[in-house]
Chain A
């Protein structure tokens, strides 16, 4: 039942998940093979990006919903985690207030807003990581799909959604730290976030989340529901006249994808150490779509490969030639669209062949 790309991918992720911790913790720092904590955190960040790309590929590649607002779900998951991390700081903040995060003390707030309650408990924050993006996707999707908003119109309103959230989160009186967002985190479940071992742990969890997310998405797309989702992409009215409630399928896949994006965001925040409204920027969502397009949409592993390759290139180029990055990204996108409509993985032989059912 497991096809070759899936096998290769899972093997690679497992190898990564074992090798990187060893090279970081066991191999001495003097060795050329030693992986620094900085690199571990960077790789962990790539893994969360790849999970986000997977979520976008599921809605776009398989269901034809070009969401240009998926970073909103990623950022919401990140904010939920960030709120927990802020509460964990406690009295160790600059102002030493045991209850209020620094930015609230700075704004002269006397009490914790009601929506911050519960975030001192990890289980609650973890639940919110799933619920908040999922709920937003459900409300948004219910309105959009029921009214049969499709194509470019849907893409535009997803952009509007993430833009509106960005503006809202920039406001200080929203209670989410305004344009500074959250930072200066100390620990997560008692583990020091600055310790190498914690960084390695987060990397391993991100890699496992990516592998798990991939397996879940793969299960979905190879199920009959997955075939219906593709059918909706290719001939929506035909699916409707066959008796499928197209809006339910779209809504389901959109919510599922948003939850995956939220998980990715929650894993991203402790590794980069900051979350601010910039994560909601419309450009971020568009970038994710470019990763997926470059990797090859509608394959899952293509999205994953695209996210890793493009982000590695970004890290390298923004270091070497900072002003060239956006041109390089644009050029890459154009070249791939024109010459490789199936993305990088389209170069692989038999990449698009489907398993015989």
Chain B
């Protein structure tokens, strides 16, 4: 069930073309087309119901579109694989609500997220190698939770849970990270720390961030895509996008 990593010779890691998803006649995505470059940090914004989360669902295999195509690199057809297969191929996803394993320690959360063979049989006999321990320690350091090594994840603060979840994505060693509203409910300090964290990830990973907080988007984004009613409304730098009259209209109303 392991599938080889994507070949991205043209520098594009994700191709979303003409994707349409409808729920009972309502088009959550309407011929959405989007390309993400390798190593890019892309912000996706848009009003409620614009289709941001549905787009993530399509990329990660949770929702199957009615039309269109979605490729990871040039070789992996995302529409033909299941969620675990897509995860194994190198797409990590952070949910809108922080989702960590609350009854496990920080260390165990990261251990379970580690890339590798995830079969039951392997799980029954797996032992951590020193290299794997080092990797877990390294990620724990990156997300600033080294002090909380043996703390149950359920007792962490909201911001710490968000970081832990990002850390879990890092353990997966994904090529593409999908991050849904990483700073919702965070204090200004936590938001700042998260911005640094995500910025430091771009380059080695491609990152797609969905966010409402414009200040936050301004602080991290090179390129912003605005979604509206299931399609791309505008794309460009944050200044270009914010001065686009169509975007202003959608955000502020007529």
Contact = CB atoms under 8 A, between A and B. Distances in A.
Interface of A: 220, 223-228, 230-231, 233-235, 237-246, 248-249, 252, 354, 356-357
Given A237-B99, A238-B99, A241-B83, A224 B126 contact: yes
B104 interface: yes
B100 A227 contact: no
A198 B108 CA distance: 47
Interface string B54-98: 000000101000000000000000000001110110001101000
B173 to A, nearest CB: 11
B87 A225 contact: no
A230 B88 CA distance: 20
B123 interface: yes
Contacts of B95: 237-238
A241 B92 contact: yes
A356 B106 CA distance: 12
Given A220-B124, A225-B123, A228-B112, A244 B99 contact: no
Contacts of A233: 103
A68 B126 CA distance: 32
B100 A245 contact: no
A357 B120 contact: no
Contacts, number: 86
B92 A230 contact: no
B92 A223 contact: no
B20 interface: no
Contacts of A249: 120, 123
Interface centre among A245, A249, A356 (most CB of B within 10 A): A245
A248 B99 CA distance: 21
Given A224-B124, A248-B119, A357-B128, 5 more contacts: A224-B111, A231-B112, A234-B103, A235-B100, A242-B87
25 contacts: A223-B124, A224-B111, A224-B112, A224-B126, A225-B124, A225-B126, A228-B112, A231-B101, A231-B112, A237-B62, A238-B101, A240-B83, A240-B87, A241-B60, A242-B87, A243-B84, A243-B172, A245-B84, A246-B84, A249-B120, A252-B120, A357-B105, A357-B107, A357-B111, A357-B128
A230 B113 contact: no
Nearest to B101: A231
Contacts of B92: 241
Task: Name, among B85, B105, B112, the residue most crowded by chain A CB atoms within 10 Å (CB to CB).
Answer: B112
Contacts of A225: 120, 123-124, 126
B146 to A, nearest CB: 16
Minimum-distance CB pairs A-B, first 5: A225-B123, A243-B87, A243-B88, A224-B126, A238-B99
Nearest to B116: A243
B23 interface: no
Interface residues of B, number: 35
A324 B206 CA distance: 66
Contacts of A220: 124
Contacts of A252: 120
Given A225-B123, A225-B124, A227-B111, A245 B118 contact: yes
A62 to B, nearest CB: 10
Interface of B: 1, 60, 62, 83-85, 87-88, 92-93, 95, 99-105, 107-108, 111-113, 115, 118-120, 123-126, 128, 150, 168, 172
A244 B113 CA distance: 9
A189 B33 CA distance: 72
A284 to B, nearest CB: 29
Contact of A244 (B84, B111, B128, B150): B84
Contacts of A245: 1, 84, 118-119
A227 B87 contact: no
Contacts of B168: 242
Contacts of B125: 223
Given A230-B101, A237-B99, A356-B150, A248 B112 contact: no
B119 A235 contact: no
Contacts of A357: 105, 107-108, 111, 128
A239 to B, nearest CB: 8
A245 B128 CA distance: 21
B252 to A, nearest CB: 35
Contacts of A227: 104, 108, 111-112
B120 A230 contact: no
A232 to B, nearest CB: 9
A299 B166 CA distance: 30
A243 B108 contact: no
B105 to A, nearest CB: 8
A234 B102 contact: yes
A22 B99 CA distance: 55
Contacts of A235: 99-102
B120 A234 contact: no
A226 B108 CA distance: 11
Contacts of A224: 111-112, 123-124, 126
A238 B103 CA distance: 14
B120 to A, nearest CB: 5
Nearest to A232: B101
B87 A234 contact: no
